[in-house]
């Protein structure tokens, strides 16, 4: 009997799941070298998104592992723009550098798994358009589970529950408060769609905030220049009404959200970029259902679609009020408001533009949303943008 108990105990030990510890950031223990522009190589480890190291086609950063400890992952933040790249690893047997990883994904904050473990790797520029490769930040991971601070984005395909359409980075918290963390915590598929094409540093900051709020779907970042008018008509003159409405209608067709949320019709009393988001969302109720509208890029790829519910921030006399102050298990007891404030603190764009606003200054109430359109009936004050959906 004693031998049987010992055998059972050993069996339990070996059958228990192994919980791997998080991989450590070993960047400081590695040797980093570069093919050129060596004086700027320190930019990739200075913790500053505004600085970067660059190289032309064929240029590379080389990372050598510390001692016998292999390299198991790279975490890269791109500077300027993203060009085609590849990972090479040194093969001792052939005494040559062999390709081991490449991807078509374009994420400004990008995790690169090195699952085999390598003693040395090169991140090399394989541009096909002549662009420089610009690396803003680079971190190296050792063995273990990928830690939670490493952003592992996915390109979302399929039907979203909620699309939040904003003009600028940071708008998603400044005007919409805890909307994203609230619905991420409920398990909703949320897509953040941002219109203004900003510099790489602002894009990485946007990703930092979105990841902190629980998003794993890579945000949609559009191409419109950050030139703002105070009026609806003035903004459409700058961006082209045809182009912008087409852009929003594509988003609706592409993600087919149950709920679409965007800015106030009055532009949040700040600029025309917000006004055209509201106006284009309203127009998309018709345009995204028109077989002859945006045929090549919209209808042909995704077909027609009409959102179930369209909400405008602060719209109407009896808007739906969301409660952002409920502790959320998903965030370890933090509230949606807590998470939004932390995420907004990571954003520089608003503070470096004419807005210069921070959350908590009474800019607006980010918890109030008016139902502009519904296929499922009027809201009853339940405090949920998904009221009546799924019934």
Are the CB atoms for 165 and 193 separated by under 8 Å?
Answer: yes
Distance of CA 341 to the CA centre of its chain: 17
Per-residue pLDDT of the chain (391 residues; tens, 9 = 90+): 333 333 333 333 334 344 579 999 999 999 999 999 999 999 999 999 999 999 999 999 999 999 889 999 999 999 998 999 999 999 888 889 999 999 999 999 999 999 999 999 999 999 988 899 999 999 999 999 999 999 999 999 999 999 999 999 999 999 999 999 999 999 999 999 999 999 999 999 999 999 999 999 999 999 999 989 999 999 999 999 999 999 999 999 999 999 999 999 999 988 999 999 999 999 999 999 999 999 999 999 999 999 999 999 999 999 999 999 999 999 999 999 999 999 999 999 887 775 656 665 546 789 999 999 999 999 999 999 999 998 7
CA-closest candidate to residue 352, choices 170, 93, 225: 170
What are the chain's domains? Answer: 27-141 (2.60.120.260), 162-374 (3.40.50.10320)
- Using CA atoms, how far apart are residues 284 and 298, in angstroms rounded to an integer? 12
| pLDDT value of residue 130 | 87
User: In sequence order, which ranges of the chain are alpha helices (DSSP H)?
Assistant: 2-15, 171-174, 179-185, 200-212, 232-239, 241-255, 272-287, 300-302, 336-344
Are the CB atoms for 194 and 206 separated by under 8 Å?
Answer: yes
pTM of the model: 0.92
């Amino acid at each position: 009997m004693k031998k049987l108990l010992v055998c059972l105990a050993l069996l339990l030990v070996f059958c228990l799941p192994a919980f791997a510890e998080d991989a450590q950031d070993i960047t400081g223990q590695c040797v980093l070298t570069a093919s050129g522009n060596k004086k700027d190589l320190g930019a990739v480890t200075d913790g500053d998104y505004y600085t970067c190291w660059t190289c032309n086609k064929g240029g590379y950063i080389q990372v050598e592992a510390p001692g016998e400890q292999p390299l198991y992952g790279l975490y890269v933040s791109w500077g300027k723009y993203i060009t085609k790249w590849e990972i090479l690893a040194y093969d001792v047997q052939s005494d040559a550098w062999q390709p081991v990883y490449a991807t078509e994904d374009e994420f400004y904050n990008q995790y690169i798994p090195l699952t085999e473990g390598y003693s040395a790797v090169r991140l090399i520029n394989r541009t096909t358009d002549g662009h420089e490769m610009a690396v803003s930040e680079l971190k190296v991971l050792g063995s273990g589970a990928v830690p939670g601070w490493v952003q592992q984005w996915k390109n979302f395909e399929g039907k979203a529950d909620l699309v939040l359409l904003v003009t600028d980075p940071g708008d998603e918290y400044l005007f919409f408060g805890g909307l994203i963390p609230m619905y991420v915590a409920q398990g909703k598929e949320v897509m953040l769609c941002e219109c203004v094409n900003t510099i790489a540093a602002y894009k990485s900051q946007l990703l930092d905030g979105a990841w902190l709020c629980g998003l794993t779907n890579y945000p949609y970042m559009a191409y419109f220049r950050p030139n703002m008018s105070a009026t609806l008509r003035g903004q459409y003159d700058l961006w082209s009404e045809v182009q912008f409405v087409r852009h929003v209608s594509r988003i609706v067709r592409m993600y087919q959200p149950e709920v679409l949320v965007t800015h106030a019709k009055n532009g949040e009393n700040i600029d025309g970029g917000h006004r055209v988001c509201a106006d284009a969302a309203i127009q998309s109720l018709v345009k995204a259902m028109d077989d002859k509208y945006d045929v090549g890029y919209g209808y042909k790829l995704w077909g027609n679609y009409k959102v179930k519910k369209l909400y405008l921030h602060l719209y109407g006399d009896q808007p739906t009020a969301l409660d952002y102050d409920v502790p959320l298990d998903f965030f370890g007891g933090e509230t949606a408001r807590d998470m939004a404030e932390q995420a907004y603190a990571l954003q520089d764009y608003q503070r470096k533009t004419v807005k210069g606003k921070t959350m908590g200054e009474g800019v607006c109430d980010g918890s109030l949303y008016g139902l502009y359109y519904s296929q499922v009936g009027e809201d009853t004050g339940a405090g949920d943008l998904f009221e009546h959906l799924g019934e």
